[in-house]
A and B are shown apart, each in its own frame.
Chain A
Amino acid sequence: MDCLPVTVPVTILGGYLGAGKTTLLNRLLADVQGVRLTVLVNDFGEVNIDASLIANRDGETISLANGCVCCSIGDNLGLTLYDLAERPDGPEHILIEASGVADPARIAGYAGCHPRLCLDGIVVLADAETVQARAGDRYVGDVVRQQLAAADLIVLSRTDLLDASATRSVRDWIEAEMPGARVQEASAMSRLAQLLLAGGGGTMDMPSSSSSSSSSGKHDSLFAAWRLASALPLDGAALRRALAALPPAVLRAKGIVSLAEAPGRRFVLQLVGRRWSLEPEVRSDGSALAGPSEVVAIGLAGQLDMDQLEALFAPTLPAGLPRAVAVLLRQEDRA
């Protein structure tokens, strides 16, 4: 039997009431790309999953044929999460729908309530039509701003109801209000799972087409992935510098890498918008594994500048190897 990594990544999905969280969740559950996901929702009554996907419904829990589970947070999020993390047959990824008035940063604290859990990222939905007006509201203006400020990735919903210039102006407003924000339009996010989920238990789950510098598949023409592979360990300091300097067009990156500084074990890379982590791989039997390194960065086609990424990551490749050799080695990996 395969030895599963023991860490379960947790994503927080925030955003004000009516921002489209449920719609996004339903889309995600319908196409979860093989990840065994559990979604904890606030308002169970609002969940509206296509009946053809449902395998079983039991009180406040819906089990889907694809292995995913959707259940109510109940009256104690900490307890619900803790018990979920204790289950041997538990999920590979957990997504928590924060209430419409919650501060997602606070909810994110719960992602560390059990030794097995770790925070993957905070994704906040904003209704493109109303977010600006709400941010000025007497009762909830501060709440809406707090939510946007907490986001690693801001997803704009309902842009289909606006013309291009109106959408542009909302984006400009968010970028001015929240410097450094990563903003994406929901309608452009096909294959949500690849953007929102870490992949099975934090292991690599690469886009089906992994050739670098090309968009990954026909119905994903909006979607692009860039890939780095190396048979030799990477330079950890250079990798951290590259991650910190990633352009906003990179919405998600995942990877498993070996680092020259720590031979004999691997590290798991997770990046959601502005947040990234590079942690030692934890395996349930406590073993460490050495191996080749792989990193995938995902973003929108047309926005992802492949040359820029090549240049950014070039210093991470083993020192002393001429760049041409490094490129050659990587091409061999790919073959």
Chain B
Amino acid sequence: MAGPITVFSARKIITMDAAIEEATHVAVRDGIVIELGDLDDCAAWGPYTLDDRFGSGVLMPGLIESHAHLLDGLLWAKAEYVGPVDRHDPSGKLRSGINTVPGLVQRLKELEAGLKDPSQPLVGWGVDPSLNDPIAPITRHDLDQVSSTRPIFLLHASCHIAYVNSATLTLANYAAVKAPGVTRDSSGEPTGELLELAAMMAAIKATAADMIGGSTDAAQFYNFAKVAQARGATTIVDGGGSTYFDPAFLKAALVATGAPDFPARIVAHHNGITVPTAEEMIRFAASLEGKGNDKLIFQGIKILLDGSNQGFTGRLRPPGYLASGANGLWNRGPEELKTLVPALHNAGLQVVAHCNADQAAELFIEAVATAQAKNPRFDHRHFIVHGQLLDESLMRRMAALGIHVTLFSNHLYYWGEFHRAHTFGAFRAGAMNPASTALRLGLVAAAHSDTPVSPVDPLLTLWCAANRVTAAGRVLGPRERVSAHDALRMMTFNAAYLLHRDHEIGSIRVGKRADFAVLAEDPLAIDPMGLRDIEVQGTIVGGRVFGAGA
């Protein structure tokens, strides 16, 4: 039996579908769009309820965050955000960045005053002294002003650095921890800065042990979806590394996402990161077949080829990193990748390849070429994640082999100046994340935040692709800017295509899911520099309305 019909009205409906690009009313039944046009067109389907709460808003296909990590949701659940970058929290509230050390100390004092149990550690996340103004290190002396007795642990936005106070250093016996990443002052005393996990381990164990080792906390799923939902996303990717093949973790994920009030769809990649061999990856992926639900879908297997550019661990072609000429780290050996990629390809899986710099991308393209030569597959939709230094030659080979891409456009804004000054130099910083060329060559290109690396905010991400402006206001590679329409398409239809879901989501069309974002302004009518500031009034997922910050 068909359910009741709801007709949503809007000032304008942007469909992102070539047949009919605009409408004012959309009729929804059983979570599916059944008509699109004006109210009369919708009325042809019989009795309906008119929902005009968004009548003055602009409806568009729900935005799709094509690469993010569930860790974001765990951090919101377990720690206080105290970073320098503005970030929306799971309630949709904007948390203004704190970009001075005295400001940070002040905020931590407020948080400290709210803690009752004197032994409960104060755990924060998101700090990044390189984005502070002025740039100043965070030391235990600063944090000791907050408390000399309560352990404090602050995680850097990159998750590769931590800052702790003297109480934590004592509690975790840092006098005896010999890891070289424990930064020490001239007298040999730890400064409170801990570089890399090896140095952070004892402090994490002492203050935040529940943040590592496969948490099954339901709040992580809710927070992950809510933060994205508040900024217009109806689908968000959990980009590999999570252990859905672990029954306890899967159960927690299914229970959380199965609730009717779960506010977004999660598309989870299979784990090709912490699972060591191709055989196990294929086995685990097969074990999850048919195991999802309406809001948890498994698609693609994620593998890592290199590290991160801002961490100097991406694999670059010559001339390497600026000034030093150094190169980054392979996550798996090139020989191994040359057999792993064909093995996954032959197993019928879609390969999602983290390639931050261009040598990693080149190797992946060669591996796919080998796989395709032996066992040609059509419509495999393998894609590269990040692809920050792709050039026209690499992308032409990708087009020929059917490889697509989701670009890390947020880097242009957050780290554009850093890359120009420290990692790539002027030319390569200007050539980063070349969305315009990718689209011109026929690649299906999307863009992403990689949260928690940068804040998940699809409107900000499409703003980055459209404007390519750094935090200092410089435009990097103006020719690679895309139109607002193309930017919107990257974050909707193209992302849906990469996830093998474009038949269901990514545009508003009869027969597709009723997944919409509601904006206060028309993104196609305003100055593209205003895209990031558009207010999100809510989302609709499968016909169900989620208010802003629901």
Instruction: Report which A residues bind B (CB closer than 8 A).
Output: 16-18, 42-45, 72, 74-76, 78-79, 81-82, 99-103, 106, 108-119, 139-140, 142-143
Cβ of A140 and Cβ of B181 under 8 Å apart?
no
Inside 8 A of B175's CB, which chain A residues have their CB? Answer: 115
Q: Can you name 15 A-B residue pairings with CB atoms under 8 Å? A: A17-B335, A44-B276, A75-B274, A78-B197, A78-B200, A81-B201, A99-B332, A101-B334, A106-B196, A110-B201, A111-B179, A113-B201, A114-B177, A118-B178, A139-B315
Inside 8 A of B205's CB, which chain A residues have their CB? Answer: 82
Partner of A112, one of B179, B213, B277, B332: B179
Cβ of A114 and Cβ of B201 under 8 Å apart?
yes
A-facing residues in B154-202 (Cβ within 8 Å):
173, 175-182, 196-202
Inside 8 A of B196's CB, which chain A residues have their CB? Answer: 106, 109
Q: In the complex where A43-B276, A101-B332 touch, is A112 in contact with B359 (Cβ < 8 A)?
A: no
Rounded to whole angstroms, the CA-CA distance of A117 and B363 in the bound complex is 38
Rounded to whole angstroms, the CA-CA distance of A200 and B59 in the bound complex is 70
Q: In the complex where A44-B276, A100-B333 touch, is A139 in contact with B359 (Cβ < 8 A)?
A: yes
- Whether B327 is near chain A, meaning CB under 8 Å from some CB there, is yes
Known: A111-B198, A113-B197, A139-B334. 5 other contacts (CB 8 A): A17-B336, A43-B276, A110-B201, A112-B198, A140-B330
Cβ of B332 and Cβ of A79 under 8 Å apart?
no
Cβ of A114 and Cβ of B333 under 8 Å apart?
no
Cβ of B201 and Cβ of A78 under 8 Å apart?
yes
Q: In the complex where A45-B277, A79-B213, A119-B178 touch, is A140 in contact with B199 (Cβ < 8 A)?
A: no
Instruction: Report which B residues bind A (CB closer than 8 A).
Output: 173, 175-182, 196-202, 205, 212-213, 273-274, 276-277, 315, 326-327, 329-336, 359, 363
Residue from A18, A44, A139 having most chain B Cβ neighbours under 10 A? A139
Q: Within the complex, what minimum Cβ distance (angstroms) separates A107 from chain B?
A: 9
Rounded to whole angstroms, the CA-CA distance of A108 and B179 in the bound complex is 8
Inside 8 A of B180's CB, which chain A residues have their CB? Answer: 108-109, 112
Rounded to whole angstroms, the CA-CA distance of A74 and B274 in the bound complex is 7
Partner of B327, one of A76, A82, A116, A142: A142
Q: Within the complex, what minimum Cβ distance (angstroms) separates A26 from chain B?
A: 18
Q: In the complex where A44-B276, A109-B180 touch, is A82 in contact with B202 (Cβ < 8 A)?
A: yes
Inside 8 A of B315's CB, which chain A residues have their CB? Answer: 139
Identify the closest chain A residue to B174 (Cβ).
Answer: A115
Rounded to whole angstroms, the CA-CA distance of A110 and B199 in the bound complex is 7
Rounded to whole angstroms, the CA-CA distance of A56 and B202 in the bound complex is 31
Inside 8 A of A142's CB, which chain B residues have their CB? Answer: 326-327
Inside 8 A of A139's CB, which chain B residues have their CB? Answer: 315, 330, 334, 359, 363
Identify the closest chain B residue to A16 (Cβ).
Answer: B333
Cβ of A109 and Cβ of B179 under 8 Å apart?
yes
Rounded to whole angstroms, the CA-CA distance of A18 and B181 in the bound complex is 30
Number of A-B contacts (CB under 8 A): 94
The 6 closest A-B pairs by CB, nearest first: A75-B274, A115-B176, A112-B178, A112-B179, A109-B198, A101-B330
Q: Within the complex, what minimum Cβ distance (angstroms) separates B297 from chain A?
A: 23
Cβ of A43 and Cβ of B178 under 8 Å apart?
no
Q: Within the complex, what minimum Cβ distance (angstroms) separates A218 from chain B?
A: 40
Q: Within the complex, what minimum Cβ distance (angstroms) separates A219 from chain B?
A: 36
Inside 8 A of A76's CB, which chain B residues have their CB? Answer: 197, 212-213
Rounded to whole angstroms, the CA-CA distance of A119 and B202 in the bound complex is 16
Cβ of B177 and Cβ of A113 under 8 Å apart?
yes
Inside 8 A of B201's CB, which chain A residues have their CB? Answer: 78-79, 81-82, 110, 113-114
Q: Within the complex, what minimum Cβ distance (angstroms) separates B478 from chain A?
A: 33
Rounded to whole angstroms, the CA-CA distance of A200 and B420 in the bound complex is 52
Inside 8 A of A112's CB, which chain B residues have their CB? Answer: 177-180, 182, 198-199
Rounded to whole angstroms, the CA-CA distance of A268 and B274 in the bound complex is 38
Cβ of B176 and Cβ of A140 under 8 Å apart?
no
Identify the closest chain A residue to B175 (Cβ).
Answer: A115
Cβ of A140 and Cβ of B177 under 8 Å apart?
no
Q: Within the complex, what minimum Cβ distance (angstroms) separates A42 from chain B?
A: 7
Identify the closest chain A residue to B315 (Cβ).
Answer: A139
Identify the closest chain B residue to A143 (Cβ).
Answer: B330
Residue from A16, A101, A117 having most chain B Cβ neighbours under 10 A? A101
Rounded to whole angstroms, the CA-CA distance of A76 and B196 in the bound complex is 12
Inside 8 A of B181's CB, which chain A residues have their CB? Answer: 109
Cβ of B177 and Cβ of A115 under 8 Å apart?
yes
Residue from A101, A111, A113, A119 having most chain B Cβ neighbours under 10 A? A113
Rounded to whole angstroms, the CA-CA distance of A119 and B179 in the bound complex is 9
Q: Within the complex, what minimum Cβ distance (angstroms) separates B303 from chain A?
A: 14
Cβ of B199 and Cβ of A113 under 8 Å apart?
yes
Rounded to whole angstroms, the CA-CA distance of A100 and B331 in the bound complex is 10
Q: In the complex where A78-B197, A113-B199 touch, is A42 in contact with B178 (Cβ < 8 A)?
A: no
Cβ of A103 and Cβ of B329 under 8 Å apart?
yes
Partner of A117, one of B178, B213, B335: B178
Q: Within the complex, what minimum Cβ distance (angstroms) separates A79 from chain B?
A: 6
Identify the closest chain B residue to A142 (Cβ).
Answer: B327
Identify the closest chain B residue to A10 (Cβ).
Answer: B178
Inside 8 A of A102's CB, which chain B residues have their CB? Answer: 329
Residue from A43, A102, A114 having most chain B Cβ neighbours under 10 A? A114
Inside 8 A of A45's CB, which chain B residues have their CB? Answer: 276-277
Cβ of A101 and Cβ of B329 under 8 Å apart?
yes
Inside 8 A of B326's CB, which chain A residues have their CB? Answer: 142
Residue from B274, B277, B315, B335 having most chain A Cβ neighbours under 10 A? B335
Q: Within the complex, what minimum Cβ distance (angstroms) separates B351 from chain A?
A: 19
Identify the closest chain A residue to B318 (Cβ).
Answer: A138
Rounded to whole angstroms, the CA-CA distance of A109 and B198 in the bound complex is 6
Rounded to whole angstroms, the CA-CA distance of A106 and B212 in the bound complex is 20
Q: In the complex where A109-B196, A115-B177 touch, is A79 in contact with B334 (Cβ < 8 A)?
A: no
Cβ of B202 and Cβ of A114 under 8 Å apart?
yes
Rounded to whole angstroms, the CA-CA distance of A140 and B315 in the bound complex is 10
Inside 8 A of A43's CB, which chain B residues have their CB? Answer: 276-277
Q: In the complex where A112-B178, A140-B334 touch, is A79 in contact with B198 (Cβ < 8 A)?
A: no
Cβ of A110 and Cβ of B179 under 8 Å apart?
yes
